[in-house]
Amino acid sequence: MSAPFVVPKRVVNVNKTVDVSFSQPRSLTWAYQPLSEADSEALAVADEPDEPDEFLFHSDGFRKKKLVDVIRESLMAHSARPPHQIWLPPLEVSEPMDALVASWRRKPWYVDYGQNPGLVFPVGVVDIPEDHAQRVYTIDAEMDNIMVVATAQRGKSTTLMSLITSAALMYRPERVTFFCIGASLYPVEELPHVASVVSQTDNEGVSRTVASIEGLILAREAAFKQYQIDISEFRERRFGTEREGGTDPADKFGDVFLVVDNFSDLYDKDSPMGDRLVTIARQGLSYGVHIATTATAWLVGQKQALVNVSNARIQLRLSNPDETQMGEGLERRKAARNTLDRPGFGVTREGHELLVGVPEITSATGERVTTRQLGAVIADVTGVGRLEKLARLPECIELAQVIAAFAETDVASDPFNVPFAIGESALQPTYLPTRAVPNMLVLGRQLCGKTTTLAAFGQAVMSRFTPEQAQITIIDPKTSLIGKIRGPHVRAYAYTADDIDAVIEELTAMMRDRLPPSGLSQEELLSRSTWDGPHHFLLVDDEQELRPHGAIGKAAASAPLWGLIERSREIGLHVIASRLPGNWAGISVTNPFLQKMTSSRAPTLFMDNDPATVKVFGRVGAQQLPPGRGLLVTTDGAIEGVLVGTPE
């Protein structure tokens, strides 16, 4: 290989075999026997001298090229692919998302932006030793929910952000949108594809987010029925090549993901909310709504229902690798044990090593673009904007606005529907249907807005009824309502103990007259005409200040009402009362007034309360809320966050 390379010589007709044939036998003698003419010519050519050797020289014109030089140059000039690399370098450094997307698409993310089929998110690199290959690992989420499981500080939140970033590089905002719950996800908040990010401590934000997703599912359920389509046809009409047929024009979204970082914490804090998330995960896939969650271990118990409907899984390092759910058998458990104990490293269902990418991209200058800067870069390069931003309840709203908005709704035709707040689920007026639900209780700490709620309700009643149709009686032992509800609608106002007794006794006497007398037959009861006169709204502020049950010498101040509250629908009585929570667990079952209110199926508006001592329903605690905010809870357990309108 080190000898000089000799240029191959020209091939000539040499060393030709001389074929001497004799037609007749002849004697072998010393005498000369001449050859034929053809053989003579061949011998003459073979006897010619050899051509001199010719060499190739390097660029200096002096050094001869060696055989190895010529072979190397020939191989380099050949267009054949390099030899297969058997041993690839180990996975060490996480790739940025744009590199993974480009490897999967075979072109940069910004070329033909958003034109990718399905709903596939490149998320990392998987090492496949038996194939001598390292390939892009993708999550196909078109008909699935996503779950990321890892022990603490091993990249769960980063993996979620990588998934969101990958989706933002692969698809346009109208194709995929994210609603996020978890403070660790704030870095992706500026992406055009992210409608909102709220922390788990933001109770109103969490409730509003979940309510928005539930509302979308209900709207699509109705729209799919109207247009006679399923989710596959919905996607085809919105994003396919043949966009024939319609979809709901009010529905701006494509596929929607509700992302929850650390589902276990949210479930332990608020199990009914966790159950709502599981319901979304179970029902949402049929309507293009997905859940993406993280957990520190594979969930068990009631929470396992989420695992059962989350088959697009990423498992990073576990605290107990033997609990792996990425495949079965000893080999899979061994693969889980061998997962590197570093952030981002995981294992696939096939037992291969996975390294999740980071939610960053590389700029044209080679610099890394961080997660918080991605939104501006994507918007600048592609021209896309945010499709939707989560609407939140305002800090305050005028009661007049609530009443005006309610007047535009279908239910406003019934005057017994009394609006007093706006609800967070649809940001629409919330009303008390006093024809079916005549009573309501307001519970909260000092300065939470209880008195304001009573004032708002009283003013709303005056806007819905004439004085001849409705009369208002005000019991105000601390004079907090003074001057807030005035006019011909007000029948009586009492603040001293004696006046309160007199006013309540007078009101209850009128209400008793509306009850049927004793001794009537069934036929007489059926033919008996209903009572005449206005409906009576009794507003009781600070009920805990009234004379309590069991006081020496006198019955409780509210005692005359006890027998009427449960029959209030029959007699046109509506009791709206507020009070401090006190020892709510005990008072709620020992106070006869509260017991009667509960028996009448009166909803309770839980305003600012101590979550540890006040339970709104079952194990669900109340919340610490700003003034005017509350949770309206029915006896059936339905919960709606509301903001009470500010009265004049």
pLDDT in tens, 462-512: 999 999 999 999 999 999 999 999 999 999 999 999 999 999 999 999 999
Which pLDDT value is given to residue 22?
Answer: 43
Between 28-42, 311-325, 518-532, 599-613, the lowest mean confidence (pLDDT) is in 28-42
Binding residues for ATP: 150-157, 444-451
Say if residue 84's pLDDT is above 80: no
**CA 341 to CA 338: how far, in whole Å?**
9
pLDDT digits (tens, 9 = 90+) for 104-145: 999 999 999 999 999 999 999 999 988 888 999 999 999 999
Which pLDDT value is given to residue 43?
Answer: 64
DSSP one-letter string for 175-234: TEEEEEE-GGGGGGTTSTTEEEEE-TT-HHHHHHHHHHHHHHHHHHHHHHHHHT--HHHH
Q: Is the model's pTM score more than 0.85?
A: no
- pLDDT confidence of 619, banded at 50, 70, 90? low
Rg of the chain, C-alpha, whole Å: 42
CB 576 within 8 A of CB 597: no
Topology of the domain covering 97-382: Rossmann fold (3.40.50)
Nearest to 172 by CA among 387, 369, 376: 387
Mean pLDDT confidence for 253-281: 93
- pLDDT confidence of 539, banded at 50, 70, 90? very high
CB 460 within 8 A of CB 429: no
Say if residue 50's pLDDT is above 70: no
Share of the chain above pLDDT 70, in %: 93
380 token code pair: 């600048």
**CA 64 to CA 73: how far, in whole Å?**
14
CATH of 399-513+533-644 among 3.40.50.300, 2.130.10.10, 3.30.230.10, 3.30.70.890:
3.40.50.300
Say if residue 551's pLDDT is above 70: no
Nearest to 270 by CA among 194, 355, 209, 333: 209
Binding residues: 150-157, 444-451
Which pLDDT value is given to residue 48?
Answer: 60
Which pLDDT value is given to residue 204?
Answer: 83
Greater model confidence, 184 or 321: 184
- The dihedral region occupied by 404, where left means phi > 0, alpha psi between -120 and 50, and beta the remainder, is alpha
**CA 441 to CA 454: how far, in whole Å?**
10
Q: Where in the chain is the domain with CATH 3.40.50.300?
A: 97-382, 399-513+533-644
134 token code pair: 């390292």
